[in-house]
Structure 1
Amino acid sequence: MSEAPNWISAVATVIGSIGTVGALIATYRLLRREADRDAITAQDRQGRQAEESARQARLISGWHSTRYDVTEEVYEHGAFIRNASELPIYDVQVFWRRVMTDDQTFEAAWANVWIYHIEIPVLPPAKEPLYQEMWAPNYSFFNLLEREGYPKLAVEIEFRDAAGRCWRRDHGGDLSAVTETKRPDRRRWAPVQARRPRPVGVLGG
C-alpha cells in the first residue's frame, strides 16, 4: 500500500510533463504563426511602398520615331518623350540604342557614329509627347539610317521623379530604379551603343 502514492505521483509527474511539452509546442506554433503573419505584413507593406514610389515613373516613356519635314522635304529622326503623370520630372537624359547586326562592314561604319545626347532639365506633364530632333556631328550617319534594312533605333531614358527618386526606362521598355542619373561628359556626345538582340526578337539586348 505504501507504493501506491509513489505510483500515483509518478503518473502525475508524467502527465504534468506531457502537459508542459504540449503547452510549449502550442506556444511555439503560435509564435511561428505570428512571425509568419508579421513577415507577410512586412512584404505587403514593402510591395505597397514600391508600388507607390513607382507610380509616377511608370507613366514616363520614350521612343524613336521619324517624321517628314515639309520644308526640307526629308525625313528627320528624333525621339518622343512623354510625361503622362500629373507632376513634372527632372534631369531627363535620353540615350540612343540600337540592335547589333552580324554585318561587319555595317558595324564598322556604326563604330564612328556619334549622336547628340538629349538633355531636358524639366519635363512638365502633358497630353502629347515632347519631340526632340536627333542631331549628329557626322552626317554620314543619316545615310546609315536610310539604308534598306537598317537596325531600328531605340531610346533609353533616365530621369528624376517629383519625389527625387531616379529611374531608368531601358531600350526594351523595362523600368528600374537607379541611384542617380547619368551625367554626360563635357563634349555632350556619345556613341550609339549597340545591344545584342533578345532571343525572342524584341528590339534591345
Structure 2
Amino acid sequence: MAGRRGWGGRPPASDEEASDRIVAAAVDLIGRTGAAIGIADVAEALGVIRQTVYRYFPSADALMQAAAIASVAGFLDRLTDQVRGIEDPADAMTEGVLYTLAEVRRTPHLGILLSNSYSNAVPDRMTSDEAQLFGMTMIRRFDVDWESYGYDDTSLHELVEYLLRTMQSFFVSPGHPPRSDDEMRRYLRRWVGSAILAQPRPAES
C-alpha cells in the first residue's frame, strides 16, 4: 500500500476498498472531463504512484471498463422510465435503442462502455462479457413478456449481440446527415423491429 501521503491521507483498509476508490476516482475524472482517462490521471488524483493503480487494474482499458459499468445504473433507471408500459418487443426495443443512442452522446460513461472509440485495439468491445451483461440487464428492464414471443435465454443473448452490433455501427458512423429522432424511430422500427418479430412465437413453432 502507498504511504499515508497518498490516498488523501487515508490508506484503504482492504484491496476491495482500494479498487472501489480507484474506480470512483476514474468515474469522477470522466464525468469532469467527458473523455477517456489514463492510469497516470487516476494515480495523480489519488496521490499514489501508477504502480499502485496497476496492482488492481492491469490496463487503462480495464479501469475505464470498470468505471463505465459503475456509472450506468442511473442510465438503466432512466431507460426503464422511457420504455415503461411498452409491451410490444419491437416497439420497446426501438425506443430503447433510440434512447441509448441519444444518451451516449450526452453521457461519457455510457459511451465508454458501449463503444470502442477509446480503444481501437479492442474491436470486439461490443461483444465483451461486460457489454453483453449490460445488454441483458437493459432488455430485462422492459415490460415485455419475452417468453410469450418465443425468446429463451439463448435467443435473448443472440438478440442482445445483434442489437449491440447495430448500435456500434451508429456509434462509428451516425450517418450524413444524421437522421432526426422521428426518422431514426421509423428506420429502427422497420428493420430492427422486423428482426425481433422474426423469432417464432410458441404457438407458431
Asked whether the two chains share a fold, i.e. TM above 0.5, the reply is: no
Structure with bigger strand share is 1
Structure 2-normalised TM-score? 0.24
TM-score of the pair, normalised by structure 1: 0.24
**Which structure's residues are more often helix, by fraction?**
2
